Chain A
């Protein structure tokens, strides 16, 4: 019984492998109906499934597979043409086969459903097809290829005569070769076809030369690859992790004892062990790595079906399919990617008619690109479709009360675009059966963030959309910041880390208290503070008072869901690559705990779940994050009680103006000779770009005659929508924190919000955007370039 189960399992694994390839091979065949090799490969796969299920006693599966094989066989014999209809019906049959296999996998038996209609459909098609089509003359070259396949099949037939038990094994080998052949070939060709090649993957698979190619590869491949249980690999990785720890301790000991003669010889051995361990670690990690191709392979079929259903025509271009990443990660990005691609085909790419009207190529193109960047894997999914109408996103978001009109007006293009990730927002004009129900993008985002990745997007109306997914190389090892709080070590995943701030005694007053809640003024914005030791109820209460005296307060600025907060810890240590280990199931209910890791000295450190810590500190869910928002707004909008940071400057030496610190980007001083002219505009070379300089005195009606000639040009740099301008001012005087008591002017001057009293002198508060708009009217428009 057990043995039978084992055979069945093997059969299932083998089938799922060949079926994966079948889908794309069919799609490729549709593009290139004359490709005899492709047809042969498909035929072999189906033939193997049919043969094996006969042996295992799976009559329904055999029946459908047999019908499929019959059609393939006449197609192969050139008695029937490969048509789109034919492919569709064959794909349908493959789906049925998949369905049956899935049922067998869970229930260990065939489903009750009657599949004979499918068989009848296949047979009917075979009947109509073969009689209607005329056989096509076969060229010499093609004849040769077909010949090769026939030989191959003869070999198969020979194998079939072998005793039953060995037959499965032999067939398995044969089918494996059939599958891997594709892999090898595509790898070879990839080198050449890599650059921007239209990867309907199977196009890569064209053998270099027909005949010997197939025969030669068979033995080598069967011998060079084996199947290994993933759990075994996991165990191996664990053990290697242990070895690395032991190696580190050994190295430490060797260093401590250095100098004595007896250790000289030993240190050589230690070095050797060191090297071997490192290499072993690398190699073992590689065993879990798989090319992203494994996930991408299912997309050609999916896109074909989607495009067909919507009357669109879409080309898929894949680049970097050989990029490898951890198997678990690969699984994790599968669904998000599928969703994004569906969206792109369903909403992104327009129908052929509309594309023609807009002067685009009738065929839409979808690009998939994967590459390494800075220790992470970047996956780009872009289309040349309609793009996203940002205004419509905003309107929709306001309609659904996700944002206010005021907020919408102030939002940058990027911010508005990212509203797409908000749960419950869908801009699809029409809900289709595949996507557009308003769930989805938020799920994509959460799923990718779960594995320590990020998603971002950019879009141009009418030109297309690009999604960018960044994920770590492997899940098991993540970079983390090591901190100490209440005497215990903690690891904070680097992904949510924004910056580190050390507040020393002098700046103590920058920490504000409102009803027991602490805030830190970080560049004019109030940052809510959470004391880690208090949140976790750690016994050592030293940090708030004690640590302050010696070294100040360590604030780790973290970001969750667009909201920042400061986590106060006792000490900040190095950033380290840590191995994430699971904790007992019973501890998983602790929101702040993401897992645990083993430090170099063998101790266990807890890994913090940043979102959980924020929840424990009642930052999220409650009113806290709203406060963070409204406080930020308070520094801009006129409120009575709050204080805000202002930059004080003068234009002609006599007058005083202020701008809110949160509205500007930087303060700069340039030498006058650096000012250049470009198309009638004063510009300055600034951070590898040209910064346009504007003069605001005319807009504000300021008499500049009293200005002393200074040796520097003082400039206030403002950035909106990723574009910057520099406002030339007379002299920058100070940065102050004052209560925002705004006196509204009687006769309002454009560009002036009102006056405030700063340092006992009346000061005009500038409305930066309005002032700049006076000089550059298109300043606030998003199209401003």
Chain B
């Protein structure tokens, strides 16, 4: 897939989910100064859930490429990819967080995050926008949350009409 196609695809996605991002963006632009301490999240979708990774931890995003699977590795390890000469482990975030397998047949997107262990590639369904969130919307993970998911997120931002699950990347990249 070339660059144009990718751009087109990105646009399509945005058209599908225009609401939350535009809304939050607008809010930010009005009150930029007041929310200087607001965190920025790169958002993505898993199944019908809306998740985010703090922008500082994201190295790059691209359409997932061919992977070499690693036999006998934990189930959530999708394989190894070659990222400009560096060999990087890919994690199937659906499996890691206990979602059911993707049945749409669409190729996943890759988000490469920086961790204390070097870069790790996370496979997600779709990429959303970069948004700013206000700290007062934050809440720790509800206790009733499935442990597999609850352990891997820092907490929940209660956005309008939607919840943003803030991923704890250091925890999410632990596969064993």
Contacts and interface: CB of A to CB of B under 8 A. Distances in A.
Given A537-B72, A593-B70, A603-B66, A586 B174 contact: yes
Contact of A488 (B68, B118, B120): B68
A587 B89 contact: yes
B116 to A, nearest CB: 10
Contacts of B80: 583, 596, 604, 606
A488 B69 contact: yes
B77 interface: yes
Contact of B85 (A488, A582, A598, A603): A598
A240 B117 CA distance: 23
B71 A536 contact: yes
Contacts of B73: 587, 590
Given A586-B117, A587-B89, A598 B82 contact: yes
Interface string A241-261: 110010000000000000000
A153 interface: no
Contacts of A583: 80, 87, 89
A538 B85 contact: no
Contacts of B1: none
B21 to A, nearest CB: 32
B103 interface: no
A489 B79 CA distance: 13
A238 interface: yes
Contacts of A239: 85
B176 interface: yes
A489 B67 CA distance: 12
A418 B71 CA distance: 36
Contacts of B66: 603
B144 interface: no
A245 B176 contact: no
A148 B120 CA distance: 61
B85 A241 contact: yes
A582 B84 CA distance: 14
Contacts of A581: 85-87
A242 B86 CA distance: 9
Contacts of A590: 70, 72-73
Interface residues of B, number: 26
A105 B159 CA distance: 51
Contacts of B72: 536-537, 590, 592, 616
Contacts, number: 69
Nearest to A616: B72
Chain B interface secondary structure, helix, strand, loop or mixed? loop
A593 to B, nearest CB: 7
Given A537-B72, A538-B71, A587-B70, A242 B89 contact: no
Given A584-B120, A586-B117, A587-B77, A598 B87 contact: yes
Contacts of A603: 66, 68, 82
A488 B85 CA distance: 19
Contacts of B84: 242
A238 B174 CA distance: 26
Interface centre among A238, A581, A586, A598, by most chain B C-beta atoms within 10 angstroms, is: A586
B82 A604 contact: yes
B175 interface: yes
A451 interface: no
Contacts of A537: 71-72
B124 interface: no
B68 A605 contact: yes
Contacts of A536: 71-72
A581 B86 CA distance: 8
Contacts of B79: 604
B85 A242 contact: yes
Categorize the interface residue count of chain A.
20 to 34
Nearest to B67: A604
A584 B85 contact: no
B82 A606 contact: no
Contacts of A598: 82, 85, 87
Contact of B175 (A245, A582, A586, A605): A586
Interface in A438-452: none
Contact of A586 (B68, B69, B89): B89
B118 A584 contact: yes
Nearest to A584: B89
Nearest to B121: A584
A348 B22 CA distance: 81
A488 B69 CA distance: 8
Nearest to B77: A587
B93 interface: no
B122 to A, nearest CB: 13
B81 interface: yes
A238 B71 CA distance: 26
B26 to A, nearest CB: 40
Contacts of B77: 586-587
A148 B73 CA distance: 68
Contacts of A606: 68, 70, 80
A161 interface: no
A585 interface: yes
Interface in A562-589: 581-587, 589
A604 B175 contact: no
A536 B70 CA distance: 9
A777 interface: no
Nearest to A581: B87
A245 B118 CA distance: 22
A602 interface: yes
Interface in B82-103: 82, 84-89
Interface of B: 66-74, 77, 79-82, 84-89, 117-118, 120, 174-176
Interface of A: 238-239, 241-242, 245, 488-489, 536-538, 581-587, 589-590, 592-593, 596, 598, 602-606, 616
18 contacts: A242-B84, A536-B72, A537-B71, A581-B85, A581-B86, A583-B89, A586-B174, A586-B175, A587-B70, A587-B73, A590-B73, A592-B71, A598-B82, A602-B82, A604-B67, A604-B87, A606-B68, A616-B72
Q: Which 10 A-B pairs have the closest CB atoms?
A: A536-B71, A584-B89, A242-B85, A604-B68, A604-B80, A581-B87, A596-B87, A598-B82, A604-B82, A585-B117
Given A537-B71, A587-B73, 13 more contacts: A238-B86, A241-B85, A488-B68, A537-B72, A584-B88, A587-B77, A590-B70, A592-B72, A593-B70, A596-B87, A603-B66, A604-B82, A616-B72
